């Protein structure tokens, strides 16, 4: 791991790291906020997965998580959204290629040599940060938009790895959405059976969740028809999964929305991560 930058923030340290990824076959960059409590002891960690077009930097600088993480003694990790660099496949559209990894393992060319974001988050980066940063092996996960999709699908498939789960305006039912069908076809092929593990609504129906879930959605989100929150809300209700699903009046899809409710999500995760 190569430390690219470090800045004091609310008594803690906001770091940016780069490392060679054997999973993605390229260098990967991520942000890590270590609260002041990490100077004295390992702390639990909240993963934040970002949305389309973002890097590790967007939520790190616009999300407003550091103040709340410092208050509750929780680290926050900000992974990148895709592999990047020379030789990594890309697409002219904003919703495919670099910046749009969709947190899955691609099986189709030209994506499969590098686009393995599911394994990167679940296995490689998790092991790397536990070995090199002062973190407890207690994890929560959240994310926004494409990152909310990633948080939900990764946690629902790996309940043993995460103690808490939330999302901001997630892409909730991608197998039926233009934000999903295009990407799932491109990365995984035309066989829709292979898409099921990457749809939070289907996973909630098929697998459930061991605890409760917090979801915030802006009621004035300009992408509501693509996100399909009503499908996920119905699945949570039908499967009696304890959940708090809040439609926030007047809020859109921007980081102003994320920033407004970041404190609620950090506090919610901290309460569950600090349970023994």
Distance CA 65, CA 232 (A): 25
| Residue in 9, 82, 145, 164 annotated catalytic | 145
| Residue in 221, 243, 265, 269 annotated catalytic | 221
164: left (phi over 0), alpha (psi -120 to 50) or beta: beta
Distance CA 83, CA 167 (A): 22
Q: How many CB atoms lie within 10 A of CB 207?
A: 14
Is 194 among the residues known to form the active site? no
Is 27 among the residues known to form the active site? no
Angle ∠(249,210,188) on CA atoms, nearest 5 = 80
Is 145 among the residues known to form the active site? yes
Length of the chain in residues, anyone? Answer: 276
| Residue in 114, 149, 253, 269 annotated catalytic | 253
- Is there a contact between 28 and 120 (Cβ–Cβ < 8 Å)? yes
Determine phi and psi for 251, rounding to 5 degrees.
Answer: -95, 145
Q: Which residue bears the tokens 């004035």?
A: 220
Tell me the catalytic residues.
145, 221, 253
């Amino acid at each position: 791991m190569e430390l690219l930058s470090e800045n004091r923030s609310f008594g803690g340290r906001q770091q940016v790291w780069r490392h060679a990824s054997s999973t993605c076959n390229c260098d990967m960059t991520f942000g890590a906020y270590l609260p002041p409590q990490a100077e004295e002891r390992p702390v639990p960690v909240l993963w934040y997965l970002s949305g389309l077009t973002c890097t590790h930097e967007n939520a790190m600088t616009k999300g407003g998580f550091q103040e709340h993480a410092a208050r509750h003694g929780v680290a926050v990790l900000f992974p990148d959204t895709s592999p990047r660099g020379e030789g990594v496949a890309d697409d002219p559209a904003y919703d495919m290629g670099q910046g749009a990894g969709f947190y899955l393992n691609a099986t189709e060319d030209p994506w499969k040599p590098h686009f393995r974001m599911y394994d990167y988050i679940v296995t490689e980066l998790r092991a790397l940060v536990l070995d090199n940063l002062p973190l407890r092996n207690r994890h929560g996960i959240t994310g926004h938009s494409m990152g909310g999709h990633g948080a939900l699908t990764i946690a629902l498939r790996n309940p043993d790895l995460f103690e808490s789960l939330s999302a901001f305006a997630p892409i909730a039912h991608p197998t039926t959405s233009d934000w999903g069908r295009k990407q799932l076809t491109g990365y995984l092929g035309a066989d829709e059976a292979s898409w099921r593990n990457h749809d939070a609504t289907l996973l909630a129906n098929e697998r459930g969740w061991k605890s409760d879930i917090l979801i915030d959605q802006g009621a004035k989100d300009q992408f509501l028809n693509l996100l399909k929150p009503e499908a996920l809300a119905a699945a949570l209700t039908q499967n009696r999964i304890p959940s708090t699903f809040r439609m926030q009046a007047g809020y859109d899809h921007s980081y102003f929305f994320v920033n407004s409710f970041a404190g609620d999500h950090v506090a919610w995760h901290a309460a569950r991560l600090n349970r023994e």
